Amino acid sequence: MNSNLHKKAYFLSRRGLQELDIIFKPFVEERFEALSDKDKLSFLDLLQKDDVDLIDWLLNEMPVPEDFNNIVTQIKHYLNHEEK
C-alpha cells in the first residue's frame, strides 16, 4: 500500500477524544506500515466509527464487531506491549 493510506490513517487518527488520540496516533506512527493490506483497510474503516464506540471496544465495555476484531486485538496488543 502507498503512503497515501498512511497519511489518511494519520489524519483520521486525530479524534475528538484525547484518549483516542493517545491510542491511535502512536499506533499509526509505529505500526501502520507493518500491517497487512487487509488490516490497513480495516483500520481505516474502524476510524470511521463513532468515538464512543471505539473507546467502548478498546476498553472492553462492549463486544467488538466481528469485522473489527482482528485490528482491535492488534491495537490492544500494541497498547499492552508499549506500557511495559
Distance CA 57, CA 68 (A): 10
User: Torsion angle of alpha carbons 65, 68, 73, 74, nearest 10°?
Assistant: -170
The pTM of the full predicted model, rounded to 2 decimals, is 0.83
Q: Which domains does the chain have, with CATH numbers?
A: 3-83 (1.10.150.250)
pLDDT at residue 69 greater than cutoff 50: yes
Find where cell 492488534 sits. 74
**Number of CB atoms found within 10 A of residue 38's CB:** 10
pLDDT value of position 65: 97
pLDDT value of position 7: 79
Q: How far apart are the first and last CA of the chain?
A: 30
